[in-house]
Amino acid sequence: MSKQPARYAIYFAPDPDSALWRFGSAVLGYDGVTGEDVPDIVPEGFEIPDWRLLTADPRAYGFHATIKAPFRLAQDQTEEDLVGALQAFADSRTPFVLPKLEVAIVGAREGEGAFVALVEPKPSPALAELEAAALEAFEPFRAPLTDKEFARRLPETLTTRQRDYLNRYGYPFVLEDFRFHLTLTGRVQEDEVEAVHASLEALYKQHVGNESVRVDALAVYHQEKGAGRFRVLARAPFRG
């Protein structure tokens, strides 16, 4: 069986010195800057092994909000090219502050449960503009989807517009379908999701409180060949 090829992604990652980064990393049990496991923050009613199973999927990607979803690098591009392009892109961007984030239940499916994530109380125009600009700016670095990668996105479950986006950008949830979120769990069973949501909401207030979220940088995350965890390769501050 062939190994997963190396992949890259453009993510918003909170400042590594912020309470938000420490909270998100501890909920997942992994720091995407250092590449090391960190002591877990575990909601009431869970043992650490059970919680780590529930956070296994998001842990693999590191704490982040997707701006451009993971992609293989195009054949005519290099890692150095991508990092340089991110730095050039960031040089022209102006920092902005998001409204206070909320712990929310997202992606609910009957019989399958839902995820818990940090989201905006309402969509931010500045964030939508950032996502749209980055989507186009880094498209030349993305290799086309393989048939297997395309099928993994379950195109039969998507709207016509989302399928068009999947064909155009390799990811269906962009532009009008973009929703900023920092994932805190994998899919939680229906009978547990309300309790997990309430517990993480309390923990967020305890560890982060009313700290504002400043969007002042983007990061390239890298997943080495072999399907290891994503890790911050470079972080580019906005200098506009």
Mean pLDDT to the nearest integer, 153-168: 92
Tokens standing for residue 4: 């997963």
Closest of 179, 159, 218, 157 to residue 14, by C-alpha: 218
In the chain, domain spans: 7-237
Mean pLDDT to the nearest integer, 110-126: 91
- pLDDT per position as a tens digit, 24-64: 999 999 999 999 999 989 988 889 999 999 999 999 999 99
pTM over 0.95: no
Of the two residues 9 and 40, the one the predictor is more confident about is 9
> Measured between alpha carbons, how far apart are the two ends of the chain, in Å?
46
**Contact 97/164 with Cβ under 8 angstroms?**
no
With a cut of 50, say whether residue 199 has pLDDT above it.
yes
**Contact 82/220 with Cβ under 8 angstroms?**
yes
- pLDDT per position as a tens digit, 55-69: 999 999 999 999 999
Mean pLDDT to the nearest integer, 214-232: 92
Average pLDDT, rounded, for the chain? 93
**Contact 39/7 with Cβ under 8 angstroms?**
no
Query: Where does the pLDDT of residue 14 fall: very low under 50, low under 70, confident under 90, or very high at 90 and above?
Result: very high
Class of domain 7-237 (CATH, top level): alpha beta
